[in-house]
């Protein structure tokens, strides 16, 4: 799986229709209208997300690996 930074994941989520609800410290909280789901994306110094967290975000947001 291709490693993605937190900032890149934020851009991918916004392209998929997710809206930035708020920023708390270095965590960006995204919501999508019509669903009761939130996704928190850490953007720590533009470092890559850990594999488990990246997979969980991709599963919640219905992001395929080729969209990274």
- Among 48, 60, 50, 37, CA closest to 7: 48
Summarize pLDDT for 5-41 with one digit per residue, the tens: 999 999 999 999 999 999 999 999 999 999 999 999 9
49, 3 Cβ separation under 8 angstroms: yes
Strand partners, 46: none
Cα–Cα distance for residue pair 8/12, rounded to 1 Å: 6
pLDDT in tens, 39-65: 999 999 989 999 999 999 999 999 999
pTM for the model:
0.93
User: Domain ranges in the chain?
Assistant: 6-67
Topology adopted by domain 6-67:
Metal Transport, Frataxin; Chain A (3.30.920)
Q: Which of 6, 13, 43 is nearest to 26 (CA)?
A: 43
Nearest to 26 by CA among 2, 12, 11, 46: 46
């Amino acid at each position: 799986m291709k490693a993605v930074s937190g900032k890149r994941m934020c851009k991918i989520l916004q392209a998929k229709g997710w809206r930035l609800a708020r920023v708390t410290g270095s965590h960006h909280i995204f919501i999508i209208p019509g669903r009761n789901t939130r996704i928190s994306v850490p953007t720590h110094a533009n470092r890559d997300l850990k594999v488990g967290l990246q997979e969980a975000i991709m599963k919640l947001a219905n992001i395929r690996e080729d969209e990274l």
